[in-house]
């Protein structure tokens, strides 16, 4: 495996003296070069669908920091838009979508085979990145997991507790199941097309998995991930898949085995020592420095970074944050984190 990229080696189970490193939302508002490119694009969605500019912002943190992976610049809500939902972004507040609250709303959605007409610019971004990235840098594609995407489609926006989605699944389980099934099918096709366009790894973000409990977690977080991963493995058996059921707590244990994921990404609500004992025993893990250290920096950033590296050094590990970097982060703190991981 010595000739493979470091991320791919970790995903194949290799234990490396220095873990590979990338960062969720590494292309984003904390970087001045990103802000300049976004201003050039005009608005967030225009940036996502401008393949040249989306590739540019994906490349910016690679040029600045030399991360071991670049993750496609896009958004998890592009899939529901491709399925026919209205999508727009409100400055300072985030996304807004048309809502699904009744069967008639669902019936207006497009079939899965129609998504690629809208999403072709995303695939073009990947083709550009495949050509432009340094040879040692892994290209990661991604999608939102069905439960998380459904929470936005049902509420029309992000909510603190995903209450509207919980209400629909409890009050109209048949309709809710249709939403999850359509998103599961769409995610399979979307990620498959990303792989065909050049993604070497894909990641499934279930950002709101932590609001599911018991049988609901199995039914709406674990089972769709299992279906998506099985279908992708049938089409692309050599492409590794990272699953991130954020907020899963003790349900992280066994999630990789149950779903077939090659790696489980973990948030910072669980300790690195717990992850080593309960999750890494099954294979590669990704994580899990708290994002706040990218804001506060200093000696605590260094000590906490070392703590993550030391706890997870006995198994396959990809160093990352426990969630995405925030817009108020200091770019100098990112460099300090990288230097600490790579130089001890």
Quote the CA–CA distance of 250 and 235 in Å, as a whole number.
31
Token pair of 60, please?
């910016």
- The answer to whether 75 is a known catalytic residue is yes
- The answer to whether 29 is a known catalytic residue is yes
Main-chain dihedrals φ then ψ at residue 2, nearest 5 degrees: -60, -25
Single out the catalytic residue among 49, 123, 152, 252: 152
Signed CA dihedral, 35, 37, 43, 47: sign only: negative
Question: How far is Cα of residue 46 from the mean position of the Cα atoms in its chain?
Answer: 20
Question: How far is Cα of residue 209 from the mean position of the Cα atoms in its chain?
Answer: 13
Closest CA to 129 of 141, 119, 111: 141
Quote the CA–CA distance of 99 and 131 in Å, as a whole number.
38
- The answer to whether 38 is a known catalytic residue is yes
* Per-residue CA distances from 109 to 86, 170, 173, 178, 182 (Å): 10, 22, 18, 11, 9
- The answer to whether 182 is a known catalytic residue is no
Quote the CA–CA distance of 30 and 277 in Å, as a whole number.
34
Using DSSP's 3-state secondary structure scheme, residue 117 falls into helix
Q: CB-side exposure of 60: number of CA atoms within 13 Å? A: 23
Single out the catalytic residue among 9, 25, 182, 292: 25
Quote the CA–CA distance of 109 and 321 in Å, as a whole number.
35
Single out the catalytic residue among 38, 64, 127, 219: 38
Question: ∠ CA(65), CA(66), CA(72), 5° rounding?
Answer: 95
Signed CA dihedral, 66, 68, 72, 73: sign only: negative
Quote the CA–CA distance of 194 and 115 in Å, as a whole number.
13
Bridge partner list, 139? 70
- The answer to whether 292 is a known catalytic residue is no
Bridge partner list, 144? 205
Single out the catalytic residue among 35, 64, 75, 330: 75
Catalytic sites, residue numbers = 25, 29, 38, 75, 152
């Amino acid at each position: 495996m010595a000739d493979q990229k470091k991320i791919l080696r970790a995903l194949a189970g290799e234990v490396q003296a220095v873990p590979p490193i990338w960062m969720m939302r590494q292309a984003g508002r904390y970087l001045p070069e990103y802000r300049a490119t976004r201003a050039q694009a005009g608005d967030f969605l225009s940036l996502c669908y401008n393949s040249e500019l989306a590739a540019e912002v994906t490349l910016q943190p690679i040029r600045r920091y030399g991360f071991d992976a670049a993750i496609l610049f896009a958004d998890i809500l592009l899939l529901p838009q491709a399925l026919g939902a209205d999508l727009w972004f409100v400055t300072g507040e985030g996304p807004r979508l048309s809502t699904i609250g009744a069967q008639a709303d669902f019936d207006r959605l497009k079939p899965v085979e129609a998504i690629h007409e809208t999403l072709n610019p995303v695939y073009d971004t990947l083709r550009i990145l495949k050509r432009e990235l340094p040879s040692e840098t892994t290209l990661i594609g991604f999608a939102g997991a069905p439960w998380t995407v459904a929470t936005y489609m049902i509420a029309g926006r992000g909510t603190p507790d995903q209450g509207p989605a919980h209400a629909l699944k409890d009050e109209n389980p048949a309709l809710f199941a249709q939403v999850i099934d359509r998103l599961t099918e769409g995610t399979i096709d979307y990620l498959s097309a990303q792989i065909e366009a050049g993604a070497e790894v894909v990641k499934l973000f279930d950002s709101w998995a932590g609001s599911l409990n018991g049988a609901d977690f199995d039914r709406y977080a674990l089972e769709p991930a299992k279906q998506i991963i099985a279908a992708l493995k049938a089409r692309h058996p050599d492409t590794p898949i990272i699953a991130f059921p954020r907020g899963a707590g003790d349900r992280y244990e066994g999630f990789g085995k149950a779903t077939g994921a090659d790696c489980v990404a973990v948030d910072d609500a669980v300790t690195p020592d717990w992850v080593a004992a309960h999750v890494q025993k099954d294979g590669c893990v990704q994580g899990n420095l708290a994002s706040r250290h990218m804001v506060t920096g200093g000696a605590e950033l260094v000590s906490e970074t070392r703590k993550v590296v030391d706890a997870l050094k006995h198994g396959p590990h990809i160093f990352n944050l426990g969630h995405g970097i925030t817009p108020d982060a200091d770019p100098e703190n990112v460099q300090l984190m990288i230097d600490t991981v790579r130089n001890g």
